[in-house]
Chain A
Amino acid sequence: MSEEGIVKKLMYVNRKAPYGTIYALESLEVVLIGAAFDQQVSLAFVDDGVYQLTRSQNTDGIGMKNFSPTYAALGDYDVRHIYVERESLEARGLTVEDLMPLTYEDEDDDWAEKESLRVVDSSELATLMGEQDVVLSF
């Protein structure tokens, strides 16, 4: 895409548990493909979607590929804003400690490793959604 192309703010909202339906994996693949188009991308995880980011997933018993390590590659794809809704975590007895650390390397700051994941409450998330040009829900 050309330098002067229009940069839109895109948010992918993930609401479903990682396995059992194809939504989580499809969303992740769309994000990775879409990252080639130089848009300003953010991800939000709400409801059962917060389970997508939990540590130590093991899919041996269900015969599906464990794709959770791929979330750690999002930083390489310039996805630097990952929001997790606080209320959804709390309702499931989870804290940020139960989630995978997600970082990106800031090229403009000598490749310093920075946090991409941020826990936000639902009112802040609503504000962030309101600022988007496009919200895609999975």
Chain B
Amino acid sequence: MPLEVNGKSYETDEEGYLANINEWEPGLADAMAEADGTSLGDNHWEVINFLREYYEEYQIAPAVRVLTKAIGKKLGKDKGNSKYLYELFPYGPAKQACKYAGLPKPTGCV
């Protein structure tokens, strides 16, 4: 189902992941969050931006274990743990944050 944001239409797959990563813009993340009944704060954006940088460098979305470890290293131990990340992204930090970031579903996520 296409996602309509600011008068533009974006193609997504059946689970709501953006079809073309290059079409992503921050407004899409807000729109996806709103559709999930939530809104994004600075803490969410730290993770979303981190994921986009990771993808840019390695061409993959990291597995949740890798994400947790890397966030801990970059943003501090109080953020590099499952509890913190699951509170931000209750549908699963890798899956939900990757969706908002316009990335494909992480390899190995079922």
What is A's interface to B at a CB cutoff of 8 Å?
29, 32-33, 35-36, 65-67, 69-70, 72-73, 76-77, 111
Contacts and interface: CB of A to CB of B under 8 A. Distances in A.
Contact of B63 (A36, A65, A72, A111): A36
Interface in B51-94: 57-60, 62-63, 65-66, 69-70, 73
B77 to A, nearest CB: 13
Interface of B: 57-60, 62-63, 65-66, 69-70, 73, 107-108
13 contacts: A29-B107, A29-B108, A32-B60, A32-B63, A32-B108, A33-B107, A33-B108, A35-B63, A36-B65, A36-B108, A73-B60, A73-B66, A76-B62
B6 to A, nearest CB: 29
A73 B62 contact: yes
B66 to A, nearest CB: 5
B59 A69 contact: yes
B66 A76 contact: yes
